[in-house]
Structure 1
Amino acid sequence: MANRVEFNTDLPDISESNALWERARGLIPAGTQTLAKGPTQFSDGVAPKYLIKGQGARVWDVDGNEYLDYNMGIGPIILGYCHPVVDGAIRAQLDDGITFSLMHPLEVELAELLRECIPNTDAVRFSKTGCDVTSAAVRLARAYTGRERILCCGYHGWHDWYIGVTDRCAGIPDAVKALTHTVNYNDLQSVIDAVDEDVACVILEPFVFERENGHFLSGLRELCDRHGVLLIFDEMWTGFRCAVGGAQEFLGVRSDLSLFSKAMANGMPISAITGRGDVMALLERDVFFYTT
């Protein structure tokens, strides 16, 4: 068959990967800067540990072995490695400079484009990482509602407000942990049971590993409206994948704020909050959230 793909099932030589790992273990905590990329997440002794090149869906390790990459940078490489249009734009901008002392026209152009693409977008604020915008969205929700408690569903980064409800919560005050409560996906009753007059927002991944049951998100929207709670979509995974307009467009359920990250730039460090103008207006007054 002309389109047949043959896979090499022989174990690759990863001696250079292993040698680098030995150097890293005594210098870098846990040996890795990203838990999801570390050897504990793969078959140690079989899987490579260090990649040096990518092209399309293929990557090469430090030992010269070639692989098909189904992780794609743990998510954000949605157009494939070294996409010529994206990389060409980056190279062109490098020739003109980066990180200026004043604003750049691209800030306006990209904000306008996101307003066209993302439903319910009156305003846009950019930042660098997904953690930045999830934490900023929580702060906005608290400022807008005057409430403190957060309901969450999914993974939202390493900042105190979220990671305090996980097992790895050392160093986070109990008072902070008490303000966040987890709810279950596709289980509206778990949200109903947790909502009270002090809940500022529900922040969740619209879907990741489990198909939405057809009424969970619409029921959640109605519940949030009834109780004056903001609904925040963490679209690090769904944004620009299921539809150009993200989960709001794909599922037909509006959020008050939607959050996007590196996938919007095929892996480059950028993130964004989009959403309702009356909520985002607080960024002009009482809520401080800026980046260089």
Structure 2
Amino acid sequence: MARESSRSRSRDRSIDRSTELLERARELIPRAAQTNSKSPAQFVQGVSPTHVERAEGCRVWDVDGNEYIDTVMGLGPNMLGHNYPAVTEAVEDQLGDGTAYSMPHSLQVDVAELIVDTVPCAEMVRFGKNGNDMTALSAKLARAHTGKDVIATQGYHGWPDVFMSAGPLNRGIPDAVGDYTESFEYNDIESLERIFEDHPDDVAAIVTTPVNLSAPEDDFLERVREIADREETLLVFDEILTGYRYALGGAQEYFDVTPDLACFAKGISNGYPLSALAGREDVMRTIEDDDFIFSMTYAGEAASLAAAKACITEQIERGDVHDHIWRQGRAIRDGYNELAEEHGVDHLTECVGMGPRPNATFEDGDGADANLLESLFMQEAHKGGVLFAGSHLPSYSHADEDIEEMLAVYDDAMGVLAEAVESGTVESSLEGKPVGASLREQLGEED
């Protein structure tokens, strides 16, 4: 059945219920959301929805009943798709037997075995609930195992003090913590070498995302592995986003570079709260030492473990999950860029990144600010029925027709963007507050 055009859908669209919930949320919840990337400030208030009601496959419905193709999939966890049948059934079956027990559930062993069987670096596994749990544990464990103090870090690894202390978001962290955290740049091996020059024999771990929007260059990952071996330092891959997304064994399998430890979360349980640290047995057994502690009440919660077992098993049995994600991501990226060129705005916006994670970027130009360009494009995408937020994290549930519909909406949005740029009306074309506006600004109050 043919779908109505994005512009005809937008005429009947309302976000009244979203607006009401936002007004209530700002009185009760700091930033009005539990996750910064999902907060109202990340969207165009007055146009974008603020709260969702339900989701199925690659689609979500907001609290006003508007339907969207989801491009972000909960920031990546729903890799198979929202409410994916095999995962939902496994969780429902487990709920009948309970979720939190006074002793470990057998699923802990089952899921640990699956991770060891699929992840190159995995010899032992510990579970948590969030990516933060695992990145913080990796740093603490590296220090305990090596007897060294400094953490060399690249990329975003959540909000633990050990990683935030060296950056701009360090309020509330004692200065002394930052003395033992040093940052380096991706694809810049010299910036990593300088850390070892400044802290000889005292770097416990190199913690890095194995791939960002740009692929590794000049054997970057291999050279990082060589430095870790040379300096007797642990190499930790933050695979919170890349794990089970780039390949069954994560980015370490895809790039054929094996770390000593790896952090997982978003790809292992399809939307249920579970994370894992996997790695070398000798390193992981340091957790057993009498003077080391890592313990969480809910780390072995059975419903999420059931989801993880079903999620990983589905990837193994289907066999084409990762090929599908790569293919759909490339189609989004290439289709977006073709549309930008057709509309003459390819100098202002481009979709970059590898297949599993294409990301739309915007640049200042033609008298228009990049943030306003992104806000206008987002506005039109949301009105057209695509939950656009810049980053795209395709799922196994994104069918060819969904990508075609997404690109049709992007075609309309790109046309509006091009017209506004040509006429100099980008800012005045916005029907709400741009991305980044404070909550008070969004609600029409003075900040």
TM-score (norm 1): 0.96
Alpha-carbon deviation of 1:30? 1.4
More helix by share: 2
Contact 1:139/1:287 (CA < 8 Å) preserved in 2?
no
Hey, what's the Cα distance between the residues in 2 that align with 1:167 and 1:243? 33
Hey, what's the Cα distance between the residues in 1 that align with 2:229 and 2:44? 46
Which residues of 2 match residues 45-194 of structure 1 at below 5 A? 45-194=46-195
Pick the aligned partner of 1:289 from 285, 288, 294. Answer: 294
Which residues of 2 match residues 9-28 of structure 1 at below 5 A? 9=7, 10=10, 12-28=13-29
Contact 2:132/2:158 (CA < 8 Å) preserved in 1?
yes
Deviation string, structure 1 residues 75-96 (Cα, Å, up to 9, x no partner): 1110110000001000000001
- Range 96-105 or range 6-15, more displaced: 6-15
Contact 2:241/2:266 (CA < 8 Å) preserved in 1?
no
Deviation string, structure 1 residues 250-283 (Cα, Å, up to 9, x no partner): 0010100011014200011111111101101101
1:268 to 2:282 alignment? no
Contact 2:18/2:50 (CA < 8 Å) preserved in 1?
yes
Provide the identity percentage.
44
Pick the aligned partner of 1:230 from 231, 234, 242. Answer: 234
1:215 to 2:219 alignment? yes
Hey, what's the Cα distance between the residues in 2 that align with 1:7 and 1:182? 47
Contact 1:208/1:238 (CA < 8 Å) preserved in 2?
no
Hey, what's the Cα distance between the residues in 1 that align with 2:264 and 2:99? 22
Hey, what's the Cα distance between the residues in 1 that align with 2:166 and 2:179? 8
Hey, what's the Cα distance between the residues in 2 that align with 1:114 and 1:211? 25
Deviation string, structure 1 residues 71-122 (Cα, Å, up to 9, x no partner): 1001111011000000100000000111111111111111111111000221
Shift in CA distance, 161/20, structure 1 to aligned 2, threshold 3 Å:
same
**SS of match in other structure, 1:115:** helix
Amino acid at match of 2:237: F
Q: Which has the higher contact order (CA 8 A, sep 6+)?
A: 2
Hey, what's the Cα distance between the residues in 2 that align with 1:5 and 1:19? 29
What is the aligned residue count?
290
Unaligned runs of 5+ in 1: none
Shift in CA distance, 99/91, structure 1 to aligned 2, threshold 3 Å:
same
What is residue 39 of structure 1 aligned with on the other side?
Answer: 40
Shift in CA distance, 176/257, structure 1 to aligned 2, threshold 3 Å:
same
Amino acid at match of 2:67: E
Alpha-carbon deviation of 1:249? 0.8
Deviation string, structure 1 residues 180-237 (Cα, Å, up to 9, x no partner): 1111111111101112321110111111311111510000000111111110001011
Pick the aligned partner of 2:6 from 8, 14, 19. Answer: 8
Hey, what's the Cα distance between the residues in 2 that align with 1:226 and 1:182? 19
Larger radius of gyration: 2
Deviation string, structure 1 residues 4-56 (Cα, Å, up to 9, x no partner): 86651326311110111011112111111111001111122211100010000
Hey, what's the Cα distance between the residues in 2 that align with 1:166 and 1:23? 33
Contact 2:242/2:267 (CA < 8 Å) preserved in 1?
no
What root-mean-square deviation, in Å, do the aligned CA atoms of Structure 1 and Structure 2 show? 1.4
**SS of match in other structure, 1:192:** helix
TM-score (norm 2): 0.63
Shift in CA distance, 39/100, structure 1 to aligned 2, threshold 3 Å:
same
What is residue 360 of structure 2 aligned with on the other side?
Answer: none
Contact 1:146/1:200 (CA < 8 Å) preserved in 2?
yes
Hey, what's the Cα distance between the residues in 2 that align with 1:273 and 1:168? 25
Hey, what's the Cα distance between the residues in 2 that align with 1:176 and 1:274? 26
Alpha-carbon deviation of 1:179? 1.2
Amino acid at match of 1:81: H
Which residues of 2 match residues 244-259 of structure 1 at below 5 A? 244-259=248-263
